[in-house]
Each structure stands twice: as C-alpha cells, then as structure tokens.
Chain A
Amino acid sequence: MRRLLYLLPVAVFGILALFFLRGLTLNPREIPSVLINRPVPEMNLPPLPGRGDNTGLATADLKGRVSLVNIYGSWCIACVQEHPYLMKIKQTGIVPIHGIDWRDDPVEGAKWLKKHGDPYDRVGIDPAPGRTAIDFGVTGAPETFIVDKAGIIRYKHIGPVTPEAWEKTLLPIIKELNK
C-alpha cells in the first residue's frame, strides 16, 4: 500500500504527459475564423507604384477564378522564406496569386518584388494601420487565403507556404474548388 503511494507521482505525470501529447495536436489559437465561407471583405486597394496598369486589388477582382490572396511586406523575414515557393506556384499556372502589401512603404514593397521576383497577378497596398488586413482577420505576415470562384474565402493559411503545406493542404482544396 505504502509502495503504491510512491508510484503516485509517476502516475500523475503519466496522465499529464498524455494530455500534453493530445494538446500538441490541438491548436488553442485556432479560433474558427468567422471569415471562412464568407465573401471577401469590401476593398479597393491602390496599386503598387511602377508595377504597370493591371494592379491594385478590389473585391471584384477576386471573382470568376479560384485564387490565392497572400499578405506580405518588405519588412517581413518569413515572407522571404516563402517567396521562392510562391514563384514556383506561379510557374505551374495552377492558380493566380494576388498580393496585399501590408503595413509597408509602397516604394519599399515594389523594390522588394524587383529584388525577390514578382509572383503576383495583382498587388494592392494596405498601408498602416492596415484596415483591409484587419477585415481579413490577418494576425501576422505572411498569411495566405484561398478564395473560390464566387469570391468566398475558403481557407486561411497562417505562416509561410511550405512545399508540405502546399502539397498536403492548399493544393487539394484548390483542386476541389476547381471541380
């Protein structure tokens, strides 16, 4: 009996560890986004300087085709990390990517695209404090939204788009929406 008492700490810890293991697969931050399955917010973002005429991003631009909306900024280091992969996605031509240059100096935002390559169809600027990004429910850059043909947000990806996230999550959703 007394011996059982000595087993109590390891037993309690074992139960805790099981909960932790379960906890790792849950995301306490994942508050189901109210914007999923809702139309993209009303917006009419001005174009990035020196990027030609076909820029600026408005709500109407997101209708008719499945598209990605990518939130970036020249100040954002993780964006540098995902950028080469966005370029690859552009080359495949599977889906158009639109950019929102968030809380950025437009000149810096344009320079950044010159330096790292420009994967975007259309780019709109959302200067600080970033009203449009707030309407999208953006918590940080980069974030990528999948918008369907009717202009309805179907998925939100937080953080850089990695090959793994693209293959396992984003691409299947896009294929499904394209059917």
Chain B
Amino acid sequence: MIAEIGHFALILALAVALVQAVVPLIGASRGNAAWMALSGPTSAAQVLLVAISFAALTHAYVTSDFSVMNVAQNSHTDKPMLYKVAGVWGNHEGSLLLWITILAVFGGAVTLFGRNLPPGLKSRALAVQAMITVGFLLFILLTSNPFERLEPPPLNGQGLNPLLQDPGLAFHPPLLYLGYVGFSMAFSFAIAALIEGRVDAAWARWVRPWTLAAWIFLTLGIALGSWWAYYELGWGGWWYWDPVENASFMPWLAGTALLHSAVVVEKRDALKSWTILLAITAFGLSLLGTFLVRSGVITSVHAFATDPARGVFILGLLVVAIGGSFLLYAVRAPALKTGGLFAPLSREGTLLLNNVLMATGAGTVLLGTLYPLFADALNLGKVSVGPPFFNAVFLPLMVPMVLAMAVGPLMSWKRGDLAGALSRLKIAGALAVAAAIATWVWQGGSLGPWWAAGGMALAVWLFLGVLTELAERIRLFRAPFSQSLSRLAKLPRSAWGMTITHAGLAVFIAGMTASSAWKLESVQSQKIGETITVAGYAFTLKDVQSVQGPNYLASRGTFEVTKDGKPFAVMQPQKRQYKSPPMPTTEAAIETTFLGDVYAVVGDSGGDGGYVTRLYFNPLVVWMWAGTGMMVLGGLVSLSDRRHRVGAPTRARLPAHSVRA
C-alpha cells in the first residue's frame, strides 16, 4: 500500500511538473503575473509529492518489504540499518528517485530564497527546472519504476553489493547528486536568461552562490568516492581515470570554470555568452555522466546494471535538454550585449585563461572517456584508454593553469600589470625553484620520477603565491602593522574563500605528487611470525583469525608494526566474504601520519603456510584529503559571504568594501 502511494505521488508530481513547465513560461512572455506566480505553489507541491515518494521507498527498505522488487534485489534483513537506508540510492531506480528529490528541493529553494528575483527570470527558470523534472519523472515512471511489486515475494533479499556497504560510500551518491543537480540551477537560469535575452550582474550574483554550493557538494562527493576507493578497494591508489570517475570530474571542471567566469560577469559585465555556455555545459556533463553510467555505452568497474530501453530514453533526454539548449544558445547568444572590454593582461584575462584551460581539460577527459566508444563505432576495434593517456594529456594542461593561478589574483581588473605582479612573486618563484632542486637532490636525482620536482615546485609556487596575494591585500610590511591587521580583519569572506581554496589546491598538489611519485609497496607471501620492512616500518604478521560480522565472515590479519625498533601500531586488515550477495571484499588497515600512510592488506593463504600480504607506504596522502578539505572549507567561507546571502539585486546597496573581492 505504501509503495503504491509512493508510485502515485510520483505520477501526481509529473502532472504538477507539466503545469509548472508550461504555465509560468507563457505567463512570463505575456506579462501575466498570476500565471508567473504559479511557479511558486507548483514547486512547493513538487517538493511535497517527491518527498512522499522518497519516504515511501525508504519505508520499504527500512521495513525490508521484499514484495517490492527493488528492495528484494538490493537489500537483506541482516544488513545494518545504515546500509538499508543507503540501499535506497544504491541502485539504478532508487538513485534516480534521489536525483528527482534533490531536483525538487532545489526548485523549492528558488521559491523560498528567490523572493527578490525579477519575477520573469524566476518563473522562467522554474519552468526550465520543471522541464528537467518532467524528463526525469518520465524516465523513472516509464523505464525504472522503483515501486514495482514482486509476486511471490522472496523470503529474503539479495543484499547490497558489499563493496558499497561502507559509511564513506553511503553518503557518496547523495553528495555527488547534490553537486550534479545543483548545476541545474545555473543551467535553468542560463536558459531563462537566453529566453529573456539579458545577462547582467544581478543574474550572476544569483547564479554564483548556487553554483558554489553545487561545487562544494561535488568536490566533497568526488573526494569521498576516491577516499573510499583508497581504503576499500585495497590497491593503494585513489584515482583510476575510470569512466565513472571521469563522469563526475568533467562537470567539476566545467563547474569550476563557471564559478570563475561568473565572477567576471558580476564584476565586469563581460564574458557573458561564455558563462552561459559554461552553465549549459556543466549541467550537460552532469547529464552525460548519468547517461554513460546507466546506458551500457561504456564499460566501467562500477556502472549500474544496464538496459537498452533506458539507454535510448536517456539519450533522448540528453538530446532534448542539451541539444535543445545549445541550439537556443546558437540562436540567442549572439544577441547578448557584450559588456566591459579588457586587455588580455588583466584579471579578466587570467580568469579567461583559467577557463580555457579548464574547458580544454574537461574536453580531453571527455575524449579519453569516449574514445573506446568512438573506436568501436568506427570499427577500429575494442580499445581501452587508461591512466597513461590522461596523465600524459590532462596533467600538462594543469601546469600553466597553476602557474597562472598565482599571478591572476595579483592583476587588476581591466588592465593588469604583469611585470608588477611577477616582481611581487619573486620570493615565491625563488622558493619554488629551490623546492624543485631540493626535491631532485632528495630523491637521488633521476632515481625518482623527473616530474616529482616539478610537482613540488608548483605546489610551493601556488601556496606562496596565495600568501603573497594575501599579504598584498592587507599591505603587509608596507603599511604599519596595526593597519595590516585591521585590513586582515575586514577582508570579505569571499576573499578568504579564494585564499583558502587556492592554498588547499597547493596542499593537494603536494600530496598528489608525493603519493604518486614515491609510493613504496611490497607484495609477498608472508608466513606467521615473518617480518617485512617497507619504508622503515617493520611489519610482523602475528596471526590470521576468522571473525564473524553481521553479514560476512572475515579472515583478519594482525600485524605488529615497529619503526626504528619502537612499537608503532597494531594493524588489522581483513578479507571479508559476504553472504548475500556472495562476494569478497578487502578492508585495508591504514595508519595515517603527517608524512604518509602506512597501509596493509591481507589476502588469501598462499598454500605454503603463508598469506598473501600487500604492504604500502603512501607518502603525504593525508595532504590530499586535507587539501580537498581546505577547498571545501574555502567554498563554505565564500558562500557565507554577506553578498552571497543577500544575492538579490534590490538589496545590493551595501557598504563599499563589499564591492571588492
């Protein structure tokens, strides 16, 4: 009964969404205020209906109602409650429902927070938002009904893929979707702006915080996913350029570019049509990711079960949403008034450079991800594109970007002084060169990879560049110290946001470089009592025991680890065999230190009385997580900036300092 209510609520939501997609749009073009205002109650009704539907499915999972096919296929009574709930979105149908729920919530948020928006823009944007909802609701109702019943109901369910039974991954999809769907706001407002034929500072001021919020969620979601890959998949790495990883990374790149170009629209009234294009692209890439993961067009280690009917439907959705938007863009964008002009060497110029590099980066990732498809479609054979391609093509693009990241914020708007900016970065440059040399010497010249020195130099350059900009802003050493302090205290939060985020990227680059360049690993068959030394850490295998979990049986190895003869840690990695579905997983044991992670994995017994063990030392891994954390924190700080919260054009008359950023 409850499942049917959920199903019915979705059908009602479709009806409401259809109204919302049409009526406000007509109202806006005719200037009919009542028709435009309809977008408010309809978006509120959608939040309610979709929430009922989501709650109904959650209820089926929590109560283990196996007469619902989706629950029977993905849940099990023995599963801990957290994973019963996470099971709701751990499958194709449920994750779509989560997608729609988030979409509805964002739509509701426009109504709630957008009271100061021009009514035409608001109702048009909400209508576009509703069109996306219609597409997804049709998709779910016609091809992927999560409420389908099963007759007769099985006694127990099949269980959730054990790899996904992990706290990190339980929250990975919701965060990722908050990011993907968050970009729909920028998209809807971009389409609304194209229809109106006007993009101005007020538009950018509204779009920026939403894009920033989406970016924060997406960053967190991606980080959580790679953190999970790092500790759960047990291969010591954290990123594999897998199609599904790429599917989340491409919108991130486009979204990052969008964040920066929207700044230019707001401050300088320039780069408008480019910003609109990025807004469409960022959401388009989010949709594309959905298509790739669910259509079976690309193989991936963690794609959803696929069905050709779904593939055709979502391709249709993609063509209408993205093809249609790009077409509208081709027709309307040339008419957008171009605003402030700027010299190539200016703040705008460096932001544009950043944008072009980001977009090119996203393009290369797209090319690499789709290349197997192109090759197959053109009968060039089955190929796979792996990390070597991406590392060789993508990373070099990021080098000039990071170099420019230190320079850009030191340039002034309109016409910048490159020589002046560079002269202020003298210290940063000198220390970056010193870091390169020190790294080279420390790793024993060509004994380590050549690019490690470059990576470390970039990290130092960016970090010191960020500090230089901060010092510049508060006129450190140029004005009396007390004056610098008071300037520091008065810095707008958006400035702090940029400083923290950019510094976070520097910390991330250092961690990424070190963990890729100097990872130490040792794989062997290790007997009980035997000691293996990796990076100065001596691992003694004490025993391997069977332990019983709630829905798995595990063999747990116990290592006593010493460093320089002193006890360091007792580490207990596990190899688990889950019962339903029957599947093995590895649970690595990780001890994190400032300089690196000590990482141990235990495997099957090797036949000669030993166990296959894999022992790693992964340098500076925690720097990567810390750097990502700083990027998220910076985003949050910037989001809390008063101007972002105010957002609306009518209240933009604020104290003068808030105009600077």
Contact = CB atoms under 8 A, between A and B. Distances in A.
Nearest to A23: B297
A19 B334 contact: no
Contacts of B326: 9-10, 13
B581 A75 contact: yes
Interface residues of A, number: 27
Contacts of B333: 6
A6 B291 contact: no
B73 interface: yes
B296 A14 contact: no
B376 A26 contact: yes
A27 B377 CA distance: 10
Contact of A77 (B154, B280, B318, B582): B154
Given A9-B277, A13-B323, A128-B582, A28 B296 contact: yes
Interface in A3-34: 3, 6-7, 9-10, 13-14, 16-17, 19-24, 26-29, 31
Contacts of B296: 24, 27-29
B295 A19 contact: no
Given A10-B327, A24-B308, A77 B299 contact: no
B580 interface: yes
Interface stretch (B182-190, B367-375, B388-396, B649-657): B367-375
Given A24-B312, A28-B299, A9 B376 contact: no
A28 B298 contact: yes
A79 to B, nearest CB: 11
Interface in B302-321: 308, 311-312, 315, 318-319
What does DSSP make chain A's interface, helix, strand, loop or mixed? helix
Contact of A19 (B73, B273, B323, B373): B373
A130 to B, nearest CB: 9
A76 to B, nearest CB: 8
Given A19-B373, A80-B154, A24 B322 contact: no
A168 interface: no
A19 B315 CA distance: 11
Contact of B376 (A7, A28, A77): A28
Contacts of B329: 6, 9-10
A103 interface: yes
B224 interface: no
Contacts of A77: 69, 72-73, 150, 154, 157-158
Contact of B377 (A14, A26, A75, A80): A26
Contacts of B580: 75
B563 interface: no
B330 interface: yes
Interface of A: 2-3, 6-7, 9-10, 13-14, 16-17, 19-24, 26-29, 31, 75-77, 80, 103, 128
Given A17-B318, A23-B376, 7 more contacts: A6-B329, A10-B323, A13-B322, A17-B323, A20-B373, A26-B377, A27-B296
8 closest residue pairs by CB, A with B? A10-B326, A23-B297, A22-B377, A9-B326, A28-B299, A6-B330, A7-B330, A24-B311
